Structure 1
Amino acid sequence: MGKVVLARVDSRLIHGQVATNVSKSAGANALFVADDVSANDEFTKNIIVSAGSQTGHKIRVLKEDGAVRYWNDRQYDDFNVMLITKSIEVMYKILKAGVPVAELNIGGIPQTPGTTKVINEVAINKEQLDLLVDLKQSLGIDIYFQATPSLKKVSLDEAVKMFA
């Protein structure tokens, strides 16, 4: 049986930092991207697979519900998976549907109007914060903000204080 060694929200999906630093420190041997847009666009899908496969990891680009179905049907085979989505909303949906994770890293969400910067690489809105708080409370997930393993972690509790 496989397992998700790290779930990560990163708007860029797979890029150099994820493919090397983050995945290695998590002990992943597979990178699973759950993103409907990427899964439905062969060009984008091929770019993701090509970028990720240069690392020696198994790469899968799944539809969002496909990430849940693959877990339910095969428990991600024997892979140590780093599960990646572009948004907190999609990750929330996948985790609430039953894909088990112990650790959720929020690593890259650009600042837009109406968001609050938690770390330089991540800005979220109140609704996204509420989803993260619900995941922590209902599923006991360790949630933190960190772009790369060498940078300081900011806990969800610290982020909550930024919105008070």
Structure 2
Amino acid sequence: MSAHIVLTRIDNRLVHGQVGVTWTRAVGANLIVVANDQAAADPLQQKLMATTADSTGVGIRFFSLQKTIDIIHKAADRQKIFIVVKTPADAVKLVEGGVPITKINVGNMHYGKGKKEITKKVYVDEQDQKDLLQLASHEDIRVFIEDYPGEKKFTVDESLFK
């Protein structure tokens, strides 16, 4: 039996109100897993994110990418897991590590030098684009941009980057 992952979201802010409350409720998650090496080692960042999770009554765990890969298969059936990563590269590492991800929501990827606008909230550089297309190339993984539950979805494929 594989872990019950309801959604994986790429958001460079990790867990904040929109993720911790709106998305968690929309997907019916009861556990948020923040898979991020820096957050896993930063108690202050964890405390801030845990406050958001506590407000919705869901559990939250902070694991490095490797620890997520190592333990995700031990998750209980009753856990409806919402994984949050910071970058497309993090999602690629989880998928390559065997984490059974089927849906990836690209949420927030801030503007930075060398990044181009895909939507109002998603900016990518060449590596991000390559990673997103690699994820989308898996026939069992649906990758889409959706800022807020119920808003217009953009499927991630080659045409998105033209």
TM over 0.5: yes
Aligned Cα root-mean-square deviation (Å): 1.5
Kindly, what percent of the aligned residue pairs are identical?
A: 25
Alignment match, 1:69: 70
What residue number does 2:30 align with? 29
Q: Is the 8 A contact 2:8 2:101 kept in 1?
A: yes
| Structure 1 unaligned residues grouped into runs of 5+ | none
Q: Please say if residues 146 and 153 of structure 1, whose CA atoms lie closer than 8 Å, have aligned partners that are also in contact.
A: yes
Question: What residue number does 1:161 align with?
Answer: 159
Q: TM-score, normalised by structure 1?
A: 0.90
The answer for the alignment partner of 2:51 in structure 1 is: 50
Residue identity opposite 1:10 in structure 2: D
Stretch of structure 1 that moved more, 42-51 or 85-94: 42-51
Give the paired residue count: 160
Q: Which amino acid aligns with 1:89?
A: A
Q: 1:1-164 residue pairs with structure 2 within 5 A?
A: 2-72=3-73, 74=74, 76-77=75-76, 78-138=78-138, 140-157=140-157, 160-164=158-162
Structure 1 residue runs of 4+, over 2 Å off? Answer: 160-164
CA contact (8 A) 2:118 2:161 kept: no
How much does 1:126 deviate? 2.3
Contact 1:126–1:163 (CA under 8 A) maintained in structure 2: no
| Structure 2 portions without partners, runs of 5+ | none
CA offset at residue 150 of structure 1? Answer: 3.2
**Deviation of the 1:162 alpha carbon:** 4.3
- SS of 1:79 mapped into structure 2: coil
> Deviations 1:134-160 (Å, cap 9, x if unpaired)?
222235310001111132111112xx3
Q: Provide TM-score, normalisation by structure 2.
A: 0.91
Q: Is the 8 A contact 1:49 1:61 kept in 2?
A: no
Residue 120 of structure 1 deviates from its aligned partner by 0.8
1:100: Cα distance to partner? 0.7
User: Which amino acid letter does the alignment assign opposite residue 163 of structure 1?
Assistant: F
Code of the residue aligned with 1:95 in structure 2: it is: V
Matched residues in 1 for 2:160 and 2:137: separation?
Answer: 19
